[in-house]
A and B are shown apart, each in its own frame.
Chain A
Amino acid sequence: MAALSVDSLRKAYGDSEVVAGLSFAVQPGTCFGLLGPNGAGKTTTLRLCLGLTAPDAGRITLGGHAIPQDAQAARARAGVVPQFDNLDPDFTCAENLLVFGRYFGLPDAEIRARIPQLLEFASLSGKADARIATLSGGMKRRLTLARALVANPDIVFLDEPTTGLDPQARHLIWERLKQLKAAGKTLILTTHFMDEAERLCDTLIVVDHGRKIAEGSPRELIATHIEPQVVEVFDESCGRLPGFVENHRQLAERVEASGETAFFYCRDAAPLLAALADEDGLRYMHRAANLEDVFIKLTGRELRD
């Protein structure tokens, strides 16, 4: 049985349909990515899955419970790391965990016994009595992750867990999420960082305007949707790029220009690289195609606000 299944889900606010017929299923013990540009309906989808708002149509089952009818029982087995920290500023780290555990109906003794290992998991062992205001952004995120685990959930929802963190802090969060997956937890992740999704997700869907536009493992998506090699060519402000693109378009399967950069998507990049070797004033980078290329191809380059 799927840990979470969503079938033909719809939710509209006024005239705009934020979730427009979304279906997916998440297998237990896997990490599932929900990707999409701003306003694609990711956070609304998570809120629907947790029973925090009622769908206009469709069916959701979380941990065997029908949502939203049985949402409170389903949330007893779920942990949530929200997009914006909402730790209790009046409490210490340990008190935050204690108070949160009580919301799950856990006895104080049981929560207190778990606090040391939760703090250790969050690399906050020395911070039990530290106030929230004294923590860095990365520490707050880790404490929020530990808080989500206070009742030992089967499934953890993570809404942009590393947004705003420095690289060290992101790597530590990724490490911990891998540990959770190894321990058999199901993870539901929304993110804007394609490298994050590529590292962590077993399966992911790309949504835009509330609809699923692609589904698969990161590798499958790259193999299905995009040429394997990418050459990014940068104009060193001498204006040669448009001419170069015009003359060498046939060396790539697809070319996209974006400002001072052209992206050549190729099956075989050798002829293009040879041509570039003779060019002055152009800088280039040859790399394997990645999930970000897929994402941009599927959702377009224009800004979403």
Chain B
Amino acid sequence: MSVSLLATAGWFPVWQRNFLVWRKLALPSILGNLADPMIYMLGLGYGLGAMLPSIDGQPYIAFLAAGTVCASTMNAATFEALYSSFSRMHVQKTWDAILNTPLGLADVVAGELVWAATKSLFSGAAILLVITVMGLTSGPLALWALPAIVLTGLAFAALGLIWNALAPSYDFFMYYFTLFITPMTLISGVFFPTDQLPGWLAFVGQCLPLAQGVALIRPLLAGQVPADALLHVGVLLATAAVAFAIALRLTRRRLLK
């Protein structure tokens, strides 16, 4: 055991703790994360899709399937970084217990960040598997969606941890969904192409992190290399890094004052 090992991988035992809890409830957790988005996707995809023309040569259900992977990834990371992290930080005082060990707050918040991204990977990968079995993806390029899911998850985990650091109670999280997540979902090309929107609104949507994930994942699932892939990767990485730094600063102000 060395201090240098702790310094570089202090987030890992925090991640491991959350993984051990999750493992006890894994099956209901996966089914719960899978069922809701799949019901929406199948219902809207086949019901609504039957009335729609194909989009960019894709049937609507395949278009929506890619959007569902992105939205579920975002939701899984967001729920974990808000409700679950808040339970551990504020209700169970798990973070306080960890801070009495050699680990520091940066280790705790980084462990939570990576864990929330891991949850989003479980969720995104499960949906990816189902839609692949259904024949809604084409070719091995779809496997590259997995790292894109992780990146999207990291960005939303970090954004969620900012809101977590500011939250006085669980009720506060409703605002995050109503003011940010839900409107973003509607203007990021999850359910319909953004060229249906007024130009300025489409532009706003494009600048938000969900659209970056959509721009990477949808072409990959269709067997194409995404345009401007590096740009989207860069934006997601930068979002994760900046949001993490802000979240850490705010959490430090909250817990170590």
Contact = CB atoms under 8 A, between A and B. Distances in A.
13 contacts: A75-B100, A80-B100, A84-B93, A86-B92, A86-B96, A88-B94, A90-B24, A91-B21, A99-B20, A102-B13, A103-B102, A104-B101, A107-B1
Contacts of A75: 100-102
Contacts of A78: 100
A103 B98 contact: yes
B231 interface: no
Given A91-B20, A105-B5, A72 B103 contact: yes
A95 B13 CA distance: 13
A90 B26 CA distance: 13
Nearest to B21: A90
B3 A73 contact: yes
A90 to B, nearest CB: 5
Nearest to B2: A105
Nearest to A107: B1
A215 B257 CA distance: 29
A74 to B, nearest CB: 8
Interface in A90-125: 90-91, 95, 99-100, 102-107
B249 interface: no
Contact of A76 (B13, B99, B102): B102
Given A76-B3, A90-B24, A104-B101, 7 more contacts: A78-B100, A86-B92, A86-B94, A95-B20, A100-B101, A103-B103, A105-B102
Interface string B16-54: 110011001000000000000000000000000000000
Contacts of A87: 97
Contacts of A86: 92-94, 96-97
Residue of A73, A76, A105 ringed by the most chain B CB atoms within 10 A = A105
Contact of A82 (B20, B100, B103): B100
A284 to B, nearest CB: 46
B193 interface: no
Interface of A: 13, 50, 52-54, 72-73, 75-76, 78, 80, 82, 84, 86-91, 95, 99-100, 102-107, 151
Contacts of B100: 50, 52, 75, 78, 80, 82
Counting chain B residues whose Cβ lies within 8 A of the other chain, the interface size class is 20 to 34
Interface majority SS on B: helix, strand, loop or mixed?
helix
A33 B6 CA distance: 32
Contacts of A54: 256
A102 B17 CA distance: 9
B104 interface: yes
A100 B21 contact: no
A72 B13 contact: no
A103 B101 contact: yes
B257 A53 contact: yes
A104 B100 CA distance: 10
B4 to A, nearest CB: 10
A88 to B, nearest CB: 6
A84 B96 CA distance: 10
Residue of B14, B92, B100 ringed by the most chain A CB atoms within 10 A = B100
Interface in B85-133: 92-94, 96-104
A33 B256 CA distance: 24
Contacts of B102: 72-73, 75-76, 103-105
A209 to B, nearest CB: 20
A88 B14 CA distance: 12
Nearest to A73: B3
Contacts of A53: 256-257
Given A72-B6, A100-B97, A89 B92 contact: yes
B14 to A, nearest CB: 8
A76 to B, nearest CB: 4
Nearest to A79: B100
Contacts of A104: 1, 101-102
Nearest to B95: A86
B28 to A, nearest CB: 14
A13 B94 CA distance: 25
A241 B21 CA distance: 62
Contacts of B104: 72
A86 B1 CA distance: 26
A78 B190 CA distance: 51
A82 B97 contact: yes
B222 to A, nearest CB: 41
A161 to B, nearest CB: 14
A52 B6 contact: no
B59 to A, nearest CB: 43
A285 B190 CA distance: 80
Nearest to A84: B93
Contacts of B5: 105
Nearest to B9: A105
Contacts of A106: 1
B16 to A, nearest CB: 6
A105 B13 CA distance: 8
Nearest to B5: A105
A52 B13 contact: no
A76 B17 CA distance: 19
A114 to B, nearest CB: 14
